[in-house]
Each structure stands twice: as C-alpha cells, then as structure tokens.
Amino acid sequence: MSTNDKPTVLIVGAGLGGLLLGALFEKSGVPYTIFERAATVKPLGSALAVGPTLLPVFQQIGIYDDIVAAGKPLTHTRAYKESLEVIKATDYRPVEEYTGYGNYIIARPALYDIMLGQVPAHKIHFGHRVLNISEEDGKVAIHLSNNQTYEGDIIVGADGAYSAVRQRMYEKLKAKGQLPKEDQEDLPFSCTCLVGQTKVLDPEEFPIIKEPVCQFRAVLGADKPYTWGFMTTASNTLTWSVIHHLSKTTTKEAVQQRFRNNDNAEWSNHSAAAMCDETRDFPLQLDDGKKRTMGDLYDLTNKEYISKVMLEEKVFTTWHHGRYVLMGDGAVTAMHDAIALANLIYAMPTGTSDDITKIFEEYKTERYPAVMESFKNSQVMGKRLAKGIIGAMFLFLLTNMPMWLWRIMLAKTVRHRPQVGFIKPIPYMGTVVPTMSPSEQKARAVFEKQQQPAASV
C-alpha cells in the first residue's frame, strides 16, 4: 500500500481515545471519520493524572504546552481517616527523576477540549448512534440511527465499555460459535462512583486552590463502604469523586434489566441526586479552618454536570474480527491503544484482509500484557480500599512501605512510554529506560525509509 493509498478508518466514539486516534491519523494522512452518539459534549467527569506515559506523544503532536498550562503539578497524594487524621502522604516526585516528566492533574473536560481541538470539526459527526455494522467484499460499513450508511476499510470501536461495535461484532461471532464463553458474560463491577467539578472558586474563600501544586485528598470511610475526596485544578476549581464499594460484585444487568441505549456514562439525574443526598455529610479537609463536607462541593457544582458511573472490572479476550477492532475503556488505556493502532495502521503494507488481520493481532499482542498489568494494579488498589481484614492488611502494608520499595514500584509504572513512529521522536530522558514498543519501531522504520531521498537513476 503506497503512502497515497491508506485505508479509510471509521472511528465509533469521540472519547479521549477516539479523539487521539483521529489526531494521530490527521498527522499521518490516514483518512478517517469519527461518529459519536451524544449530540453534545457535556463537561462531565472529575480529573485525570497525565504524566510520562502520555506526555511524549503530546509533545510530538504539539499540545504539550497546552496540557501543562491546563494541568496542575502533582507531587503528593494524601489519604485521611474519616476523622481527618492524615494516614499517608505518597510521594510521586521520583517520577521526574525517572523520566524527565512530572505528573499533572487536569480536569477531564479541559483535557477533552484540548483533544477535540486536534480534530477538524467536519470529521466528527455528533448525534450519530450506530445501529449495525457490516463487512462485505473487502469493505466495512456502519449503519446509523439517522438512516445513513458510511463505508470504509476498517471500523474501530472506541465507544467505551458498552461499545456498540463490540456488541455487534460479538453477536456475529456468537452466531458462528466463535465467541469465547468469558466474553459472553456481563460486565462485572464492585464500585459505583459519583463525580463532578465545582464552578470557579474565589481563592480568598478557598485558599487551598492557591497552592502551586495539586492538593489531592482522599478520605477512607471508617464504618461505611465509601471513599471520597477532591483534587485542585489549574482553573481554580475542585474536581471531586465519591466511590461506593459494593458488598459484592454485581453486573449492570442485575442493577437494571435493560440499560437504555447502551450508554453507561450517566444513569439518571435522580440516581446521582440520591447518591449526593446519601453522602453530603462526609467530611473534608480544605485547610480553611472551617468544617467542610462533600455537600459543600455538591452545592458549588452545576447539577447537570454531576454524574454517576460504574467502575467495570473486566478485560475482554476478543479484540478484533475481520476488519473490526476494539479499543479499551479508561482514558489512559484507550489513548495507549490509539497510539499502537495509529502506528500499525500507518506501517501497514497493503489494505488486504490478511494484512489487516496481521496488524490487529500485533496490536493485541503488544497491548494485552500492559492492559492486564493495569487491571491487576487496579485490583490491588481496590483491596486497599476494601473493608474488613483484607483492606486493613493492604492499608497497613502500603502505609508502612519503605521509600526504597515505593521507588521500585513507581519505576515500574513509568516503563511504558510509547511514542508515535511517524513523527520526529522526542529524546528519552530520565534514569528509567522505556520498554520497547514494537508498533512504534515498525512505524519508525517505515517513516525513516520514506524520508530517505529517492535513489538517482
């Protein structure tokens, strides 16, 4: 496949992963269109930690300065008992020594706006729900709720845990008897989460937001199955969350017989409001000498932008079929998936079904171990927040961990620092050498070959 004969990619989902994939295709010249079921983008969510595992790519595509300006440096996180006695201050400063980059807390809506700005508006279609997908004669098509059909060469499901692309793909595989049993089970979850962001606050009334580094505070409930807290942002707001640890793992199917339109972003205004009422007396430490609670933050937040979400706990084993491929849920995971996919599609020699299957298999081979590691780390953190003897044991071990052991663990979290192979690389910095990214190397080889001057006749 020549540089002028690239596959047309249909991306379903304009979340952070889908937008980064589009932004990377914009740089590589791969034709694409993004379809998003939501008609408008609400500024939902709390905040994300963006650091060395993504910042090199953001440098490559020219948004590093925007990210840093919109973020607030994160050097420590602090955990409190419900009495507001400090349990542990965790030090993240070694990350800069290891990588040359710091960590930044950035409000999710601010990050989304930056990413949205990297994709031309005419290449994103909002208010388009996917009803079906099909593949025929070496082409794929998505069929939308407005009766329109779009054709391409590859369909990417970047539409989250309840992906319409995955559901349609799995239906086809199940009908053929080719879908593994574990991929037919409902998504389990053991936590629900209430998230939001306050309006811009007055620094004189809330002096904590004047602090030059992010104040990341988490409170562990003493006799209740909740963890709650907040983060300060560069825009003088507080992003906050409340996690409800359920007594046992359940599924969405068990909570709601049928979840309308497969949209897990928000349950209902009533459900979120009820959780606000249940948790508004939970105490907070804002360093202003006043008795503060989560209710203070709820009252400072636009009710339309408070959402309740499920924190799913599953890694699927089937990632692709034919010309369909899936990206993960979760912001960092999805963006790392986007980097690997963009590299591999750029380096793909032809648009044949065999070559597409080959790069999809390479994509899963590269990403699956990293996704499983992230999943297991999340499970460990979940045990730290669990109630009873198990939670107490994990909390004791983490609270009393010596700094040398914490540094070793922290170093492992920054090994995976992929870059885009078809853009000039950013020199690696720090004392921890990044792990090899096969997709980056493959794209780099193609890119460097194309940069060589044509041999004289």
pLDDT in tens, 29-40: 999 999 999 988
Contact call for residues 337 and 367 (beta carbons, < 8 A): yes
**The pLDDT of residue 46:** 86
Token couple for 151: 């054709």
Sign of CA dihedral 289, 291, 293, 298: negative
Share the mean pLDDT of the chain. 89
pLDDT at 264: 42
Highest mean pLDDT among 81-90, 312-321, 355-364, 399-408: 355-364
> In one letter, which amino acid is 306?
I
Looking at residue 160, its pLDDT comes to 86
Query: Does the predicted model carry a pTM greater than 0.85?
Result: yes
Q: What is the pLDDT of residue 366?
A: 96
What average pLDDT does the segment 28-57 reach? 92
Looking at residue 69, its pLDDT comes to: 97
- Strands of the sheet with 307-312, listed across from one edge: 86-91, 76-81, 216-220, 226-232, 238-251, 188-197, 307-312
- Per-domain residue ranges for the chain? 9-42+107-183+316-451
415: left (phi over 0), alpha (psi -120 to 50) or beta: alpha
Q: What pLDDT, on a 0 to 100 scale, did the predictor assign at position 384?
A: 53
Does the pLDDT at position 372 exceed 50?
Answer: yes
User: pLDDT per residue over 10-28, tens digit each?
Assistant: 999 999 999 999 999 999 9
Q: Domain 9-42+107-183+316-451, what fold?
A: FAD/NAD(P)-binding domain (3.50.50)
pLDDT at 252: 58
- CA distances (Å), origin 301, targets 87, 108, 210, 239, 296: 28, 15, 19, 9, 9
Q: What is the pLDDT of residue 11?
A: 98
Per-residue pLDDT tens for 165-199?
999 999 999 999 999 999 998 877 778 899 999 99
Q: What is the pLDDT of residue 428?
A: 93
Mean per-residue pLDDT, 360-378: 88
Confidence of residue 391 (pLDDT cuts 50, 70, 90): low
Residue 341 reports pLDDT greater than 50: yes
Residues in contact with 197: Cβ distance below 8 Å, sequence separation at least 6, in sequence order: 43, 45, 46, 47, 107, 108, 109, 233, 237, 238, 239, 240, 301, 305
pLDDT of residue 66: 98
Q: Is residue 257 very low, low, confident or very high in pLDDT (cuts 50, 70, 90)?
A: very low
pLDDT for res 3:
42
Q: How far apart are CA 363 and CA 328, in angstroms?
A: 12
328 torsion bin: left (phi>0), alpha (psi -120 to 50), beta (else) = beta
More confident site: 232 or 402: 232
Separation between Cα atoms, residue 207 and residue 205, nearest integer Å = 6
For the cut 80, the answer to whether the pLDDT of residue 76 exceeds it is yes
Give the pLDDT score at 281: 97
User: How far apart are the C-alpha atoms of 172 and 169, rounded to whole Å?
Assistant: 5
Cα distance between residue 441 and residue 382, in whole Å: 35
The average pLDDT across 84-106 equals 95
Which tokens is 233 given? 């942002």
Mean pLDDT of 117-139: 94
Higher pLDDT, 314 or 13: 13
Tokens of residue 395, six digits:
């909390």
Measured between alpha carbons, how far is 193 from 385 in angstroms, rounded to an integer?
14
**Beta-strand relationship, 292-293 and 283-284:** antiparallel
Beta strands in 201-257 (DSSP E): 216-220, 226-232, 238-251
Which DSSP letter does residue 210 get?
G
pLDDT at position 392 is 65
